[in-house]
Amino acid sequence: MRLLIILILFIFLNKSNSINIKQQHHIQQPKPSNGYKLSNGLALTPPMGFNYWNFDGCKTNLINETMMMNTAYAMSTNGMSKVGYEYVNLDDCWMAKTRDENGNLRPDPIRFPNGIKYLADYIHSLGLKFGIYGDIGSETCKGYPGSEKYLEQDAKMFAEWGVDFVKMDGCNMQVSDMKKAYTDLGQYLQDTGRPMVYSCSWPTYAYVENITMPFDYIEGICNLWREFQDIRDNFTEWTRILDEMEDSIPKRSQFAGPSHFNDPDMLEIGNGFENVVEYKSMFSLWSIIAAPLIAGNDIVSMSKEILEILINDEVIQVNQDPLGIQGNRVYKDQQLEVYQRTLINDSYAIALFNRGEVDADITITSEMLNLTNHQNYNIRDLWAHTDNGTFSDTFTASVQPHGTVMIKLSPKINNSIHLPLKYKKYFLNKN
């Protein structure tokens, strides 16, 4: 009888919650201008992969077929692919300076002598996926051919080449024209029948020009979208992006979820201008906010220390949590901050972040985390890979300058019937 009551309450509450969520978030969503609605079933968790821009930029002497193939091979053998890195992506400057006689995009013939399909096929043979870069405007940011007036043609070419991920920049186009352009390209990509993750850059250009961005619209047409200024390998710069993500109105986290994620830009881990502590902080916080984990360093020659950061599977599990909920900052006192992310199975990831220049103790409490269910939690340190006792009301950690202690709180009591924590207290210890 008790089990029947629990099941009936669970079904009723979840149905009610589902209706409320739809009313609050989805009913008001504007309909895309051409009827297109993203439905590729991809990026159910934040994409993971590689892109060379942060360390190679537009150095054409380094951007070539051999570099991409060597990177893909390294990812397939160094443990990265095993923990979820799968996309090997081109960025700007891979193209020839002109289209071919049929108006098709083409790679630089010297640097990519065998063509893009050859490269994609090799990457696929390793069990990985291939990503490409384009620009919605007349030219890319570095002056290569853009896709304006060629959106449908380029979408078909990407599909023919075997592309799995399309990053579409927004240089050389008016922000006022981007809604239609990004919507149309999304439709053309979907029409090819080939599943391709669709990454848009519209919010970045709206941000630069201080134009209000309709996030409730873009979440319906793109799998992820770049925001704010380009990232740099500098602690102050990437934490500024983090602040903008947290402080911007409307709150960015409300638009994130399976198949549609905010993108604060690629990782800078391993590019040499920060220390290991700072790189661990970046990886922790990008995981807490459900950001794509796109490695932007030299994969082939990176150190073991950097590799170990990038393949920390316990932190990656937070990033890849199937609920897809973006975490938020829940506490700030000058240089000391706490971030919280809700995970599957009534668990939570917590990041205790010290922006200061000296060691500091950071304390979390059940009140700070809004845990009012009288539940005890197991504490797991995701960098030390240790179990650190039980959290019932408070936990304190000493955190290095620019460092992050990242823990996971998992309920000590798991009922056979899975109920939201706020309802479990009515059934625990009942006969």
Angle at 225 between CA 137 and CA 198, to 5 degrees: 75
Let me know: does 345 contact 409? Beta carbons within 8 Å.
no
**In angstroms, rounded to a whole number, what is the distance separating the alpha carbons of residues 108 and 200?**
24
Task: List the strands of the sheet with 336-343, edge to edge.
Answer: 328-333, 336-343, 347-354, 404-411, 377-381, 386-391
> Of 56, 135, 164, 169, which residue is the catalytic one?
169
Q: Which two tokens stand for residue 153?
A: 């043609």
Residue in this structure with the two tokens 């920390």, named with its chain if needed: 312
Are the beta carbons of 415 and 391 closer than 8 angstroms?
A: no
- The DSSP line for 410-423 is EES---SS---HHH
Altogether, the residues listed in the chain come to a count of: 431
Active site annotation includes 108: no
Token pair for 272: 């040499």
**In whole angstroms, how large is the CA radius of gyration of the chain?**
23
The active-site residue, picked from 177, 191, 230, 361, is 230
DSSP codes of every residue in 330-396: EEEETTEEEEEEEETTTEEEEEEEE-SSS-EEEEEETTTTT--S---EEEEETTTTEEEEEESSEEE
Please, what's the largest Cα pairwise distance for the chain? 79
Check: CB of residue 319 under 8 Å from CB of residue 287.
yes
Residue with tokens 């995981």: 287
Query: Is there a catalytic annotation at residue 393?
Result: no
The residues carrying an active-site annotation are 169, 230
